[in-house]
Amino acid sequence: MNMDLTVIYVILCVLQSDSEISTIEVSSTRNRNKPFQGKGYIMNRRGPLFAILMSFTLLLSGCSSLTVLDPKGPAARTLSDTIIFSILMMVGILVVVYALYIFMLTKYRARKSNEGYEPPHEEGSKWLEILWTAIPIVIVAILSVVTVKTTVAVENVPAGYEDQKPLVIYASSSNWKWHFSYPEEGIETVNYVNIPTNRPIEFNLYSFGTISSFWIPQLHGQKYAMSDMITKLNMVAEESASMMGRNANFNGEGFAHMEFEALSMPPAEFEKWVKDVKETAPPLTEEEFNKLLDTAHVGRMSFSNHHLDFSPPPEEGHHHGGSSNEDHEEHQEHYPDPSTTEESELDSETNVNPNEPLPNSPAEESPAHEHDGH
């Protein structure tokens, strides 16, 4: 909230300074020997600018704090620190730029004491050229180093938790919902996920349909979930809290509804919850799972088993073939890819199958030279 108001105030100050400059009327003479003459007036626009500022203040008064700046785990804290560092660097750059801007306007403005003054002709300054070329390079280098270090840190298991056994959760998306499978606990949930505090969590992400982006802002950054591979996300929740997770990738009409609750709780409460789900939740059958994939929007659901038994996930990394991938593709047929046989506007021939390997030479296009996919 305070950051938003600060940004708005800076923007309004810039607009005010620009409006003051643009309203100066200048009359000049064609005689080069006659000094520059001009008269100006400044329109009083403080009233409208103040009204705009107050309007933004009222509109933003209902905004909640940014969740990315309210971390509940080490990975999110690292990302938050990087964001704040980048903002402070940009604010520092703006302060220097606008300080120089005000200094130049004040020192070199036209006034009676310098009437008739003509500045000497300058070809350029080698040191100034070096200075304003080196400064951006230094700024980009600093931000690059910080970004690379942050990326490496959040991709690994958070420091201090490397020796603990992670809780593995398979998070799969289907339009427009999230399935959370706990293979070790033998349960599954839909549109909500419970995790223990102070224990590393390993999310294995994949999709039954279009590419989604798994994101719990208070625990980690986003990562894509795709249909033919698994991506991993390591995180730790150090506080008990109810957090909102969502799909951060626009992938269709139901994108806005792909939200879920991530609830972190003490380990004892987590074990109690798992036991309760096993005892009270209904089992998940393959037929019901297929029906669930076909249903566009559902609420929170719990099951006493998981779909990994009859619909295993794709293998880690890129995968072309194999029994687990074939089982996954069988359930993925509920959301087939766009047809590859319809005619294109730009081609006289039909589109080829993207899953078919490309021939090394025209001679290999014959059936006698077909090869299995690698």
Closest to 172 measured CA to CA, from 230, 215, 255: 230
Distance of alpha carbon 2 from alpha carbon 9, whole angstroms = 11
- What confidence tens digit (pLDDT) does each residue in 164-192 have? 999 999 999 998 999 999 999 999 999 99
Task: Kindly report the average pLDDT of the chain as a whole number.
Answer: 78
Distance of alpha carbon 368 from alpha carbon 374, whole angstroms = 18
Q: How sure is the predictor about 55, in pLDDT bands with cuts at 50, 70 and 90?
A: low
Say if residue 330's pLDDT is above 90: no
- What confidence tens digit (pLDDT) does each residue in 189-204 have? 999 999 999 999 999 9
Say if residue 33's pLDDT is above 70: no
* pLDDT given at position 352: 47
* pLDDT given at position 248: 94
* pLDDT given at position 213: 96
The upper half-sphere exposure of residue 112, i.e. CA atoms within 13 Å in the direction of its Cβ, equals 0
Lowest mean pLDDT among 39-43, 81-85, 92-96, 111-115: 39-43
* pLDDT given at position 114: 76
